[in-house]
Structure 1
Amino acid sequence: MASSLCPWVALVVLVVLVQGGLGIAFTKVISVENGGPWGDWGDAEFCPEDTYATGFQLKVGPGWGDGGTGGGQHGGDGSLIWGSWTYPLSCGRSQRLVSFRLRVEAPRGLWDDTAANNLDITCSDGTVLEGQGGPAGVWGNWSASCPFGWGICGLQTRVEPPQRGGDDTGLNDVKFFCCT
C-alpha cells in the first residue's frame, strides 16, 4: 500500500493518501449548512487518481478571536502566514475519510469574526478524528457520509481574501468530494 501527501490550497487541510483500486470514476459532493458567509469558493482540488484521504491537519491562528483556523494575517498570495500546524490525525490502516462537521462562529457585527474554527472528520470504520482548532462558535450537523466503499478524494474551500486592515476570517467553509 503506497502513501503520499496531498498538500491542498487553503493551507487548512493536509491530507494523507492511501491506494484505492477503482480510480475516480464517480464523485459526490458532501457539505454542511453552517459555513461562514465571507469569501469566495476556490478551485476544487483532488488527490491523485486511485487515492483517498485518510487524515488531515489544521493550521490554527494564534489568538485571533478564540484562536480558530479562521483569523490570521494573510500573505501577499492570500495564504495565512500566522498560525501553526496542528498534529496530523489519521484513520487506521486501510480506512478512508467519509464525513465531516465544522465548528463555525456566526457573524459578530463589530467584534472580530473568526468563521470556521475547527473540523472533525469520520473514518470509514466509524472512528471520529477530532480537530485541534479553536473553541469559538458552535458545531454544526454532520455532513452526509460518502456511499459505502467510497472515500473523500478532494475538497473545495471558501476563503475570505485579505481585508487590508479589516477583519480577516480566513477559512469560512469547505466541501469534500467522495470518489468510488
Structure 2
Amino acid sequence: MLFIVVITLLLNGCNCFLLADQTPRNVTQQLTVTNGGDSGTWGVKQFCPSRQFAVGYDIKVETYQFTGDDTSLNAIKLICSDANGASFAKQTITSSVGPWGDWKGQVTCNQRPEVVMFLKAFSLQVESPQGNGDDTAVNWAKFDCRDMQDSTPMEELNKDPGHGSFGTFGAWSESCRPGSAICGMMTRVEPVLTNTGDDTALNDVIFYCCQEQDPEILG
C-alpha cells in the first residue's frame, strides 16, 4: 500500500514524503525551532482531515504557582479548516497533553472575503534549564498567518496576553512553502514526576506542512 502511494506521488511530481504511522497526507516540511526543551517523550503525530489546514490554535497553560511547582504550557491545539477557510466543523487536533492548567480559548487568523489565511510558521517562548531552580520549559506559542500562496505579508497570531511568566521567545521556524500550510503536529511532553520532582510538561513541538492538494490515495 505505502509503495503504491509513493509511486503515485512521484508520478504527480510531488516534493513530499509520507509518515508511515498516519493516514498519508502531502507532508512537504517539518517545522522545528532550536530552543525547545529536551525532557519528555514525543507523542503521536496528529493531522487535520484530508484537504484541511490549521487556521488557528488554543493553548493549555498553568497559571503562576508562586511557591509551587510551575509547568506553564501543557498543550497546543490546532483548529482545522478547508482551503476556503470554512471551519464550520470546528475540528481540532492535539498530540500529547500535560495534566495541569486550563485552555485559554481559541484564536484564529484574521480572515477577509478576498483572502484566506493559514498557520505557516511558529515561535516558542521557552525558559532555559534552571539548575536547582524551578524548570518550566515552554511557556507560550505564537504563529505566523499567511495566505496559501504567500501573496500576503506575515500577520502574527498570538493569544492574549501574548506571553507566559518565564523565558523568552526564540527565532521563528521556517515557513511552509507557497501552496502549503500547517496541517499536523507532534508534541514532546514530560510525564508526571514524583511529588519531589520538577515537572515541566510541554517541552517541544513539531508542526507539519501539507500541500494544498492531497494526492489521490490508491488502495
What is the TM-score with the length of structure 2 in the denominator? 0.64
1:57 aligned counterpart, secondary structure: strand
1:66, distance to aligned residue in structure 2 (A): 6.7
Equivalent-residue separation in structure 1 for 2:135 and 2:48 (angstroms):
31
1:163 aligned counterpart, secondary structure: coil
Native 8 Å contact 2:70 2:135 kept in 1: no
* Structure 1 unmatched ranges of 5 or more: 1-22, 72-77
1:138, distance to aligned residue in structure 2 (A): 1.3
Native 8 Å contact 2:124 2:140 kept in 1: yes
Equivalent-residue separation in structure 2 for 1:167 and 1:106 (angstroms):
14
Equivalent-residue separation in structure 1 for 2:99 and 2:205 (angstroms):
20
Native 8 Å contact 1:67 1:133 kept in 2: no
Equivalent-residue separation in structure 1 for 2:43 and 2:189 (angstroms):
7
Of 129, 145, 149, the residue aligned with 2:179 is 149
Q: 1:34 and 2:38 equivalent?
A: no
- Letter in structure 2 aligned against 1:177: Y
Aligned to 1:59: 60
* Structure 2 unmatched ranges of 5 or more: 1-23, 76-95, 147-151, 212-219
Native 8 Å contact 2:97 2:189 kept in 1: no
Bigger Cα displacement from structure 2, 170-179 vs 57-66: 57-66
Equivalent-residue separation in structure 2 for 1:104 and 1:171 (angstroms):
10
Equivalent-residue separation in structure 2 for 1:28 and 1:80 (angstroms):
26
Equivalent-residue separation in structure 1 for 2:27 and 2:128 (angstroms):
34
Task: Return the index of the structure with the highest Cα Rg.
Answer: 2
Taking only aligned residues, the RMSD between alpha carbons, in angstroms, comes to 2.1
Q: How does 1:112-131 map to 2 (within 5 A)?
A: 112-124=134-146, 125=152, 126-131=154-159
Native 8 Å contact 1:66 1:135 kept in 2: no
Of 182, 186, 198, the residue aligned with 1:167 is 198
Native 8 Å contact 1:68 1:133 kept in 2: no
- Letter in structure 1 aligned against 2:141: L
- Letter in structure 2 aligned against 1:68: S
Kindly provide the CA deviation profile for residues 26-54 of structure 1, in whole angstroms up to 9, marking residues without a partner as x.
43101000001111111211111110000
Equivalent-residue separation in structure 2 for 1:40 and 1:89 (angstroms):
27
Of 59, 68, 73, the residue aligned with 1:69 is 73
2:205 aligned counterpart, secondary structure: strand
1:133, distance to aligned residue in structure 2 (A): 4.5
Native 8 Å contact 1:66 1:134 kept in 2: no
Aligned to 2:25: 24
1:43 aligned counterpart, secondary structure: coil
- Letter in structure 1 aligned against 2:36: G
Q: Percent identity?
A: 40
Aligned to 2:98: 80
Native 8 Å contact 1:52 1:153 kept in 2: yes
What is the TM-score with the length of structure 1 in the denominator? 0.77
Report which of the two has the higher share of helix.
2
